[in-house]
Structure 1
Amino acid sequence: MERQEIETITKLVLASLQEQSTDNTGFEVPVGVSNRHIHLSQKDVEILFGEGHVLTPKKELMGGQFACEECCTIVGLKLRAIENVRVLGPARSATQVEIAQTDARKLGITVPVRESGDIKGSAPIAIVGPKGAVYCKEGCIIAARHIHMSPADAKMAGLADGDYVSVAVDNERGTTFDKVKIRVDESFTLEMHIDTDEANAAEISTGNKVKIVRKA
Protein backbone atom coordinates (compact mmCIF):
# COMPACT_ATOMS: atom_id res chain seq x y z
CA MET A 1 0.00 0.00 0.00
CA GLU A 2 1.37 3.39 -1.02
CA ARG A 3 2.17 6.14 1.51
CA GLN A 4 -0.54 8.45 0.12
CA GLU A 5 -3.20 5.74 0.50
CA ILE A 6 -2.13 5.10 4.10
CA GLU A 7 -2.34 8.82 4.91
CA THR A 8 -5.81 9.06 3.36
CA ILE A 9 -7.11 6.05 5.32
CA THR A 10 -5.57 7.41 8.53
CA LYS A 11 -7.31 10.77 8.06
CA LEU A 12 -10.66 9.07 7.46
CA VAL A 13 -10.30 6.92 10.59
CA LEU A 14 -9.34 9.93 12.72
CA ALA A 15 -12.29 11.94 11.37
CA SER A 16 -14.63 9.06 12.19
CA LEU A 17 -13.28 8.79 15.73
CA GLN A 18 -13.67 12.54 16.23
CA GLU A 19 -17.26 12.40 15.05
CA GLN A 20 -18.00 9.54 17.46
CA SER A 21 -16.41 11.40 20.38
CA THR A 22 -18.77 14.35 19.90
CA ASP A 23 -21.87 12.27 19.15
CA ASN A 24 -24.70 13.70 21.28
CA THR A 25 -27.37 11.13 20.38
CA GLY A 26 -28.60 9.00 23.25
CA PHE A 27 -27.50 11.50 25.91
CA GLU A 28 -30.03 11.27 28.74
CA VAL A 29 -31.53 14.35 30.38
CA PRO A 30 -33.87 14.47 33.41
CA VAL A 31 -37.10 16.43 33.00
CA GLY A 32 -38.27 19.36 35.10
CA VAL A 33 -41.89 20.35 34.50
CA SER A 34 -42.34 24.09 34.92
CA ASN A 35 -45.70 25.23 36.26
CA ARG A 36 -47.03 28.75 35.71
CA HIS A 37 -45.05 31.33 37.70
CA ILE A 38 -44.19 35.01 38.05
CA HIS A 39 -40.90 36.94 38.08
CA LEU A 40 -41.26 40.41 39.63
CA SER A 41 -39.23 43.61 39.60
CA GLN A 42 -38.55 45.01 43.07
CA LYS A 43 -40.83 47.95 42.28
CA ASP A 44 -43.71 45.57 41.55
CA VAL A 45 -42.88 43.44 44.61
CA GLU A 46 -43.51 46.50 46.77
CA ILE A 47 -46.71 47.46 44.94
CA LEU A 48 -48.11 43.95 45.36
CA PHE A 49 -46.88 43.13 48.87
CA GLY A 50 -46.14 46.46 50.52
CA GLU A 51 -43.36 49.03 50.73
CA GLY A 52 -39.97 47.55 51.59
CA HIS A 53 -41.17 43.96 51.14
CA VAL A 54 -38.48 41.37 50.33
CA LEU A 55 -39.41 38.06 48.68
CA THR A 56 -39.37 35.09 51.06
CA PRO A 57 -37.46 31.97 49.83
CA LYS A 58 -39.42 28.71 50.02
CA LYS A 59 -37.37 26.33 47.87
CA GLU A 60 -33.96 26.75 46.22
CA LEU A 61 -33.80 26.37 42.43
CA MET A 62 -30.90 26.29 39.99
CA GLY A 63 -29.08 29.39 38.83
CA GLY A 64 -29.51 31.24 42.11
CA GLN A 65 -33.29 31.34 41.78
CA PHE A 66 -35.81 30.25 44.39
CA ALA A 67 -39.52 29.57 44.69
CA CYS A 68 -41.12 32.08 47.06
CA GLU A 69 -43.71 31.85 49.76
CA GLU A 70 -45.53 34.65 47.94
CA CYS A 71 -48.28 33.94 45.41
CA CYS A 72 -50.46 36.25 43.29
CA THR A 73 -53.52 36.19 41.08
CA ILE A 74 -53.06 36.81 37.35
CA VAL A 75 -55.89 38.38 35.36
CA GLY A 76 -56.48 38.38 31.60
CA LEU A 77 -59.18 39.74 29.33
CA LYS A 78 -62.78 39.91 30.54
CA LEU A 79 -61.46 39.63 34.12
CA ARG A 80 -60.68 35.93 33.75
CA ALA A 81 -58.25 34.99 36.50
CA ILE A 82 -55.95 32.26 37.82
CA GLU A 83 -55.23 32.35 41.54
CA ASN A 84 -52.25 31.22 43.64
CA VAL A 85 -49.56 31.65 41.00
CA ARG A 86 -46.14 31.18 42.58
CA VAL A 87 -43.60 34.02 42.54
CA LEU A 88 -39.96 33.12 41.82
CA GLY A 89 -37.07 35.14 43.22
CA PRO A 90 -34.87 37.02 43.39
CA ALA A 91 -36.43 40.20 41.99
CA ARG A 92 -35.60 40.91 38.34
CA SER A 93 -35.16 44.10 36.34
CA ALA A 94 -38.52 43.50 34.61
CA THR A 95 -41.71 41.65 35.58
CA GLN A 96 -42.48 38.50 33.57
CA VAL A 97 -45.29 35.94 33.78
CA GLU A 98 -44.78 32.43 32.34
CA ILE A 99 -47.84 30.30 31.63
CA ALA A 100 -48.93 27.37 29.43
CA GLN A 101 -51.22 27.56 26.41
CA THR A 102 -54.08 26.08 28.45
CA ASP A 103 -53.68 28.96 30.92
CA ALA A 104 -53.68 31.48 28.06
CA ARG A 105 -57.00 30.15 26.79
CA LYS A 106 -58.49 30.29 30.28
CA LEU A 107 -57.33 33.91 30.63
CA GLY A 108 -58.60 34.80 27.15
CA ILE A 109 -55.26 36.12 25.87
CA THR A 110 -52.94 35.34 22.98
CA VAL A 111 -49.47 34.59 24.32
CA PRO A 112 -46.26 34.13 22.27
CA VAL A 113 -43.70 31.37 22.79
CA ARG A 114 -40.49 33.09 23.88
CA GLU A 115 -37.23 32.55 25.69
CA SER A 116 -37.26 33.78 29.27
CA GLY A 117 -36.45 37.49 29.34
CA ASP A 118 -37.65 38.14 25.79
CA ILE A 119 -40.83 40.03 26.64
CA LYS A 120 -40.87 42.88 24.11
CA GLY A 121 -44.25 42.89 22.39
CA SER A 122 -45.52 39.94 24.44
CA ALA A 123 -49.00 39.65 25.94
CA PRO A 124 -50.43 42.07 28.51
CA ILE A 125 -51.33 40.75 31.95
CA ALA A 126 -52.55 42.07 35.31
CA ILE A 127 -51.13 40.80 38.60
CA VAL A 128 -53.00 41.16 41.87
CA GLY A 129 -51.35 40.83 45.28
CA PRO A 130 -52.53 41.35 48.86
CA LYS A 131 -51.52 45.03 48.91
CA GLY A 132 -52.11 46.19 45.34
CA ALA A 133 -52.22 45.38 41.63
CA VAL A 134 -49.92 45.83 38.64
CA TYR A 135 -50.92 46.05 34.98
CA CYS A 136 -48.19 45.01 32.56
CA LYS A 137 -48.63 46.16 28.95
CA GLU A 138 -46.29 43.31 28.01
CA GLY A 139 -44.56 40.52 29.90
CA CYS A 140 -46.67 37.36 29.61
CA ILE A 141 -45.05 34.52 27.65
CA ILE A 142 -45.13 30.77 27.10
CA ALA A 143 -41.55 29.72 27.83
CA ALA A 144 -39.80 27.94 24.96
CA ARG A 145 -38.60 24.46 25.87
CA HIS A 146 -34.91 24.26 26.74
CA ILE A 147 -32.21 22.20 28.43
CA HIS A 148 -30.00 23.56 31.21
CA MET A 149 -26.45 22.18 31.26
CA SER A 150 -23.24 22.81 33.15
CA PRO A 151 -20.11 23.21 30.98
CA ALA A 152 -19.10 19.65 31.95
CA ASP A 153 -22.48 18.26 30.84
CA ALA A 154 -22.25 20.19 27.56
CA LYS A 155 -18.78 18.79 26.89
CA MET A 156 -19.97 15.24 27.54
CA ALA A 157 -22.92 15.75 25.19
CA GLY A 158 -20.82 17.42 22.50
CA LEU A 159 -22.99 20.53 22.63
CA ALA A 160 -22.57 24.26 23.19
CA ASP A 161 -24.66 27.12 24.53
CA GLY A 162 -27.22 28.16 21.93
CA ASP A 163 -27.34 24.82 20.10
CA TYR A 164 -30.72 23.28 19.26
CA VAL A 165 -31.52 19.58 19.58
CA SER A 166 -34.40 17.15 19.25
CA VAL A 167 -35.36 15.10 22.29
CA ALA A 168 -37.27 11.81 22.35
CA VAL A 169 -39.62 10.43 25.02
CA ASP A 170 -39.48 6.64 25.15
CA ASN A 171 -42.94 5.66 26.37
CA GLU A 172 -46.35 4.74 24.92
CA ARG A 173 -46.77 8.27 23.53
CA GLY A 174 -43.42 8.16 21.72
CA THR A 175 -43.17 11.96 21.62
CA THR A 176 -40.30 13.91 20.03
CA PHE A 177 -39.65 17.53 21.00
CA ASP A 178 -37.86 19.59 18.35
CA LYS A 179 -36.26 23.04 18.66
CA VAL A 180 -35.00 22.45 22.20
CA LYS A 181 -32.40 25.10 22.99
CA ILE A 182 -29.25 24.28 24.97
CA ARG A 183 -28.41 26.78 27.74
CA VAL A 184 -25.02 26.38 29.42
CA ASP A 185 -23.87 28.00 32.66
CA GLU A 186 -21.72 27.06 35.66
CA SER A 187 -24.74 27.51 37.94
CA PHE A 188 -26.96 25.08 35.99
CA THR A 189 -27.70 21.45 36.75
CA LEU A 190 -28.72 19.10 33.96
CA GLU A 191 -32.47 19.38 33.31
CA MET A 192 -34.89 19.85 30.43
CA HIS A 193 -37.61 22.39 31.19
CA ILE A 194 -41.01 22.01 29.56
CA ASP A 195 -44.39 23.41 30.56
CA THR A 196 -47.34 21.47 31.95
CA ASP A 197 -49.11 21.20 28.58
CA GLU A 198 -46.07 19.62 26.93
CA ALA A 199 -45.55 17.25 29.86
CA ASN A 200 -49.18 16.13 29.89
CA ALA A 201 -49.22 15.57 26.13
CA ALA A 202 -46.12 13.38 26.33
CA GLU A 203 -47.21 11.68 29.59
CA ILE A 204 -44.02 12.58 31.43
CA SER A 205 -43.36 14.24 34.77
CA THR A 206 -40.53 15.77 36.76
CA GLY A 207 -37.75 13.22 37.26
CA ASN A 208 -38.47 11.21 34.10
CA LYS A 209 -35.62 11.02 31.58
CA VAL A 210 -35.57 11.81 27.88
CA LYS A 211 -32.86 11.30 25.26
CA ILE A 212 -31.25 13.70 22.82
CA VAL A 213 -31.69 12.07 19.41
CA ARG A 214 -30.14 14.64 17.07
CA LYS A 215 -28.62 18.07 16.85
CA ALA A 216 -30.32 20.65 14.66
Structure 2
Amino acid sequence: MAKKMLPIALSNRHLHLSQQDIEILFGEGYELNKFKDLSQPGQYAAAEKVDIAGPKGILKGVRVLGPARPSTQIEVSLTDGFILGVTPPVRDSGDIAGSPSVKIIGPKGEVELKEGVIAAARHIHMHTDDAEKFGVVDKQRVKVRTEGDRGVVFENVLVRAHPTFALEMHVDIDEGNAAGVKNGEMVELIVE
Protein backbone atom coordinates (compact mmCIF):
# COMPACT_ATOMS: atom_id res chain seq x y z
CA MET A 1 0.00 0.00 0.00
CA ALA A 2 1.32 3.43 -0.96
CA LYS A 3 2.19 5.84 1.85
CA LYS A 4 -0.13 8.81 2.34
CA MET A 5 2.27 11.77 2.05
CA LEU A 6 1.66 15.48 2.60
CA PRO A 7 3.78 18.62 3.10
CA ILE A 8 4.57 20.06 6.53
CA ALA A 9 5.07 23.70 7.51
CA LEU A 10 6.48 25.30 10.66
CA SER A 11 4.34 28.08 12.06
CA ASN A 12 6.19 30.88 13.84
CA ARG A 13 4.55 33.20 16.38
CA HIS A 14 1.79 35.31 14.87
CA LEU A 15 -1.60 36.77 15.63
CA HIS A 16 -5.01 37.18 14.08
CA LEU A 17 -6.81 40.43 14.90
CA SER A 18 -10.45 41.46 14.99
CA GLN A 19 -11.27 44.56 12.93
CA GLN A 20 -11.99 46.42 16.18
CA ASP A 21 -8.50 45.62 17.51
CA ILE A 22 -6.89 46.49 14.14
CA GLU A 23 -8.42 49.97 14.42
CA ILE A 24 -7.28 50.42 18.04
CA LEU A 25 -3.71 49.35 17.18
CA PHE A 26 -3.33 51.04 13.77
CA GLY A 27 -6.00 53.75 13.56
CA GLU A 28 -9.66 54.21 12.72
CA GLY A 29 -10.72 52.62 9.42
CA TYR A 30 -7.35 50.89 9.03
CA GLU A 31 -7.06 47.96 6.61
CA LEU A 32 -4.24 45.40 6.76
CA ASN A 33 -1.69 45.46 3.92
CA LYS A 34 -0.77 42.15 2.29
CA PHE A 35 2.92 41.25 2.61
CA LYS A 36 2.64 37.78 1.05
CA ASP A 37 0.06 35.05 0.48
CA LEU A 38 0.07 32.01 2.76
CA SER A 39 -0.52 28.41 1.69
CA GLN A 40 -4.19 28.50 2.71
CA PRO A 41 -6.34 30.26 0.08
CA GLY A 42 -7.38 33.77 1.12
CA GLN A 43 -4.95 33.90 4.07
CA TYR A 44 -1.93 36.21 4.05
CA ALA A 45 0.92 37.55 6.13
CA ALA A 46 0.26 41.25 6.62
CA ALA A 47 2.97 43.89 6.44
CA GLU A 48 1.93 44.99 9.94
CA LYS A 49 3.72 43.81 13.09
CA VAL A 50 3.02 44.47 16.77
CA ASP A 51 4.70 43.89 20.10
CA ILE A 52 3.19 41.51 22.65
CA ALA A 53 3.85 42.19 26.33
CA GLY A 54 3.38 39.62 29.09
CA PRO A 55 4.11 39.73 32.82
CA LYS A 56 7.82 38.86 32.31
CA GLY A 57 8.81 40.01 28.84
CA ILE A 58 7.99 41.31 25.37
CA LEU A 59 7.94 39.65 21.95
CA LYS A 60 8.84 42.38 19.46
CA GLY A 61 7.72 42.54 15.85
CA VAL A 62 5.12 39.76 15.86
CA ARG A 63 3.54 39.33 12.41
CA VAL A 64 -0.18 39.96 11.94
CA LEU A 65 -2.00 37.51 9.64
CA GLY A 66 -5.02 38.54 7.60
CA PRO A 67 -7.79 38.89 6.89
CA ALA A 68 -9.44 40.18 10.09
CA ARG A 69 -11.17 37.55 12.23
CA PRO A 70 -14.20 37.75 14.54
CA SER A 71 -11.93 37.63 17.61
CA THR A 72 -8.26 38.26 18.29
CA GLN A 73 -6.04 35.20 18.80
CA ILE A 74 -2.29 35.05 19.42
CA GLU A 75 -0.43 31.85 18.51
CA VAL A 76 2.95 31.35 20.17
CA SER A 77 5.24 28.44 21.01
CA LEU A 78 5.72 27.18 24.54
CA THR A 79 9.19 28.79 24.43
CA ASP A 80 7.56 32.14 23.61
CA GLY A 81 5.32 31.60 26.63
CA PHE A 82 8.42 31.43 28.88
CA ILE A 83 9.60 34.76 27.46
CA LEU A 84 6.20 36.39 28.02
CA GLY A 85 5.71 34.82 31.44
CA VAL A 86 2.47 33.03 30.52
CA THR A 87 1.58 29.39 29.95
CA PRO A 88 -0.27 29.13 26.64
CA PRO A 89 -2.55 26.09 26.54
CA VAL A 90 -2.21 23.77 23.55
CA ARG A 91 -5.50 24.34 21.76
CA ASP A 92 -7.21 24.08 18.41
CA SER A 93 -7.52 27.42 16.63
CA GLY A 94 -10.43 29.46 17.94
CA ASP A 95 -10.51 27.74 21.34
CA ILE A 96 -9.27 30.66 23.45
CA ALA A 97 -11.61 30.47 26.47
CA GLY A 98 -9.64 30.75 29.70
CA SER A 99 -6.30 31.28 27.93
CA PRO A 100 -3.76 33.85 29.22
CA SER A 101 -4.06 37.60 28.86
CA VAL A 102 -1.37 39.90 27.42
CA LYS A 103 -1.05 43.40 26.04
CA ILE A 104 -0.76 44.04 22.29
CA ILE A 105 1.15 47.22 21.44
CA GLY A 106 0.65 48.87 18.06
CA PRO A 107 1.79 52.18 16.59
CA LYS A 108 -1.49 53.98 17.45
CA GLY A 109 -2.74 52.19 20.55
CA GLU A 110 -2.74 49.19 22.85
CA VAL A 111 -5.15 46.32 23.43
CA GLU A 112 -5.37 44.58 26.82
CA LEU A 113 -6.36 41.11 25.69
CA LYS A 114 -8.33 39.36 28.45
CA GLU A 115 -7.77 35.93 26.84
CA GLY A 116 -6.50 34.70 23.52
CA VAL A 117 -2.93 33.36 23.81
CA ILE A 118 -2.58 29.72 22.71
CA ALA A 119 0.02 27.29 21.45
CA ALA A 120 -1.77 26.00 18.37
CA ALA A 121 -2.35 22.26 18.39
CA ARG A 122 -0.73 20.43 15.50
CA HIS A 123 -3.18 20.07 12.64
CA ILE A 124 -3.59 19.29 8.97
CA HIS A 125 -5.48 21.51 6.56
CA MET A 126 -6.88 19.55 3.65
CA HIS A 127 -9.41 19.96 0.90
CA THR A 128 -12.43 17.68 1.24
CA ASP A 129 -11.18 15.80 -1.87
CA ASP A 130 -7.87 15.11 -0.08
CA ALA A 131 -9.77 13.90 3.00
CA GLU A 132 -11.67 11.42 0.83
CA LYS A 133 -8.44 10.26 -0.85
CA PHE A 134 -6.71 9.79 2.53
CA GLY A 135 -9.76 8.11 4.09
CA VAL A 136 -10.22 10.67 6.88
CA VAL A 137 -12.94 13.12 7.95
CA ASP A 138 -13.02 16.60 9.42
CA LYS A 139 -12.09 16.72 13.15
CA GLN A 140 -10.60 13.21 13.08
CA ARG A 141 -7.34 12.71 15.01
CA VAL A 142 -4.48 10.98 13.18
CA LYS A 143 -0.73 10.39 13.49
CA VAL A 144 2.00 11.78 11.26
CA ARG A 145 5.50 10.30 10.85
CA THR A 146 8.54 12.36 9.89
CA GLU A 147 11.79 11.00 8.46
CA GLY A 148 15.43 11.81 9.12
CA ASP A 149 17.87 11.73 12.03
CA ARG A 150 15.29 13.16 14.43
CA GLY A 151 12.25 11.42 12.95
CA VAL A 152 9.20 11.36 15.20
CA VAL A 153 5.58 10.30 15.16
CA PHE A 154 3.26 13.21 15.98
CA GLU A 155 0.20 11.97 17.89
CA ASN A 156 -3.22 13.64 18.15
CA VAL A 157 -3.02 15.57 14.88
CA LEU A 158 -6.34 17.26 14.08
CA VAL A 159 -7.68 16.92 10.53
CA ARG A 160 -9.35 20.11 9.30
CA ALA A 161 -11.11 19.28 6.02
CA HIS A 162 -12.90 22.00 4.08
CA PRO A 163 -13.52 22.77 0.37
CA THR A 164 -11.38 25.94 0.63
CA PHE A 165 -8.34 24.39 2.35
CA ALA A 166 -5.04 23.41 0.73
CA LEU A 167 -3.16 20.29 1.85
CA GLU A 168 -0.56 21.09 4.52
CA MET A 169 0.29 20.03 8.08
CA HIS A 170 1.10 22.79 10.58
CA VAL A 171 3.30 22.45 13.66
CA ASP A 172 4.76 25.24 15.72
CA ILE A 173 8.42 26.19 15.50
CA ASP A 174 9.36 24.26 18.67
CA GLU A 175 7.82 21.02 17.39
CA GLY A 176 9.24 21.38 13.90
CA ASN A 177 12.75 22.11 15.11
CA ALA A 178 12.64 19.21 17.59
CA ALA A 179 11.67 16.86 14.75
CA GLY A 180 14.31 18.31 12.41
CA VAL A 181 11.79 19.12 9.66
CA LYS A 182 11.78 22.02 7.24
CA ASN A 183 8.96 23.80 5.43
CA GLY A 184 7.70 21.79 2.46
CA GLU A 185 9.17 18.43 3.52
CA MET A 186 6.91 15.47 2.98
CA VAL A 187 5.57 13.55 5.98
CA GLU A 188 3.43 10.43 6.24
CA LEU A 189 -0.20 10.43 7.40
CA ILE A 190 -1.02 7.37 9.54
CA VAL A 191 -4.66 6.38 10.09
CA GLU A 192 -5.28 3.66 12.66
Determine if the TM-score, normalized by the shorter chain, exceeds 0.5. yes
SS in 2 for 1:86: strand
Q: Which has the higher helix share?
A: 1
Unaligned runs of 5+ in 1: 1-19
1:156 to 129, 133, 136: 133
Mapped contact 2:49–2:64 kept (Cα < 8 A) = yes
TM-score, normalised to structure 2's length?
Answer: 0.96
For residues 190 and 128 of structure 2, the distance between their equivalents in structure 1, rounded to whole angstroms, comes to 20
Q: What's the counterpart of residue 58 of structure 2?
A: 81
Residue correspondence of structure 1 range 61-140 to structure 2 within 5 A: 61=38, 62-78=40-56, 80-140=57-117
For residues 183 and 147 of structure 2, the distance between their equivalents in structure 1, rounded to whole angstroms, comes to 15
1:66 CA drift (Å): 1.1
Residue correspondence of structure 1 range 1-216 to structure 2 within 5 A: 26-61=3-38, 62-78=40-56, 80-215=57-192
SS in 1 for 2:64: strand
1:142-173 per-position Cα deviation (integer Å, ceiling 9, x unaligned): 00000011111111101111111111111111
Q: Could you tell me which amino acid in structure 1 is paired with residue 45 of structure 2?
A: A
Deviation >3 Å, runs of 4+? none
For residues 66 and 144 of structure 2, the distance between their equivalents in structure 1, rounded to whole angstroms, comes to 29
Q: Could you tell me which amino acid in structure 1 is paired with residue 71 of structure 2?
A: A
For residues 26 and 137 of structure 1, the distance between their equivalents in structure 2, rounded to whole angstroms, comes to 44
Identity in percent: 49
1:174 CA drift (Å): 2.1
TM-score, normalised to structure 1's length?
Answer: 0.86
SS in 2 for 1:92: coil
Q: Could you tell me which amino acid in structure 2 is paired with residue 144 of structure 1?
A: A
1:198 CA drift (Å): 0.2
Mapped contact 2:143–2:153 kept (Cα < 8 A) = yes
1:57 CA drift (Å): 1.1
1:187 CA drift (Å): 1.1
Q: What's the counterpart of residue 9 of structure 1?
A: none
Q: Could you tell me which amino acid in structure 1 is paired with residue 133 of structure 2?
A: M
For residues 69 and 191 of structure 2, the distance between their equivalents in structure 1, rounded to whole angstroms, comes to 34
Unaligned runs of 5+ in 2: none
1:110 CA drift (Å): 1.1
Q: Could you tell me which amino acid in structure 1 is paired with residue 31 of structure 2?
A: V
Q: Could you tell me which amino acid in structure 2 is paired with residue 143 of structure 1?
A: A
